[in-house]
Amino acid sequence: MKMRLQKVLAQAGVASRRRAETLIAEGRVEVNGQIVREQGVQVEPDRDLVRVDGRLLELERKVHYVLYKPPEVVTTLADPQGRPTIAPLLAAIPERVFAVGRLDYDAEGALIVTNDGALAHRLMHPSFGVPRVYLAKVKGVPSDATIDLARRGLRLEDGPVTPLEIEKGESAERNTWLKLVLTEGRPHLVKRLCAALGHPVVRLYRPLYGGVSAEGLRPGEFRALTPPEISLLKNGGRRPIPPVAELKAPPRRHRAQDDETPQAPLQQRQLDDARSEPPKSKKSMMKAPHGAAPAKASSRPNAQRQATPPKSRFAPDKKRDATDRSRDERHRERAPDRRDRSDRPMSARFTKPASPRAIGSDRFAPRSVPTAKHSAKHPAPKNRTRPSR
């Protein structure tokens, strides 16, 4: 069977297809003793002799593995952001392999790893309908009406989605396990589907991909597929899917790492600790001089110290009240004809009295109110002269 030259180089593990095209353009590839610089040349790997930099090309055998992808690992061989990838997990495989499809950064479960490009295309393309089984732990308990709505299908921002199967599993007080079977692998499809139903995903696990299970593997381990499993993948992974009760949930993670009980931020924890501590006194807050011995603790027990109520700055003081009353009495004796200001209302205590010049003057009276004229009954005040001594 004839194949393109760059595809043969990629399957042999020399380089990727784009890198193989660069090698061909540089004149480093020979076919039957002749240098080839054109792209898209068809060759027969079983008959033609292909050399790269003078070395005879040997086609790699097809290998197929299943990897238990752990959470917080990117499904790629190189990440520009420096996050952990699956490359160290596949270092023991001598052939150049790649992952079939992707799993989210925080998702875990079965991931097919192979160097068979034709099989990878059949597994990933939605037209072949390869089933992908997911166990999603969601917040809350979805009702039967919500499950029926998901069975009929929903329309997301990138198109409609209709699960092949959806079933409610074990429920807890705050979370519920859902089994979803999909035949396509759009980005974050399970998370967006559950969010549209009103139950966001807390944890995502894929136990089956095309009928191949990751059961018996720990996170980060892989195993080679058996011949029946390879035949099952080539036939589209069509076999009866077990119910949700028979699917094993992933091992429970530590509570600090579980998404259902997130740990409070550092600033919030420090604030809670400060609120729980008893208030410090001024003496304890003062720093001791260098070389001095620390202050001794109080000899009274804690119960006695707590039973003693703190002295308030607004507590009544009998001695001070007696002093204030004696001062007021002396003031009344010195000025008996003067009205005590304490008997006046609060508004009158702080009101500035009007100027004597303004009282009865036309200049300070309103224009709309006429002023009273002096008459014989009400004569004008006479200028009083101060008697000489």
Q: Report, as residue numbers or ranges, the catalytic residues.
A: 104
Grouping H, G, I as helix, E, B as strand and the rest as coil, residue 134 is strand
List CB contacts of 186: < 8 A, sequence separation 6 or more: 158, 161
Structure tokens at 76: 């790629």
E strand spans, the chain: 3-4, 29-31, 34-35, 42-43, 50-52, 55-56, 64-69, 98-99, 108-114, 132-139, 154-156, 159-161, 165-171, 175-182, 201-209, 212-213, 222-224
CA distance 22 to 17: 9
CA distance 100 to 27: 32
Phi, psi angle pair for 90, to nearest 5°? -105, 15
H-run or E-run covering 322: helix 318-334
Structure tokens at 260: 């259902």
Distance of CA 338 to the CA centre of its chain: 74
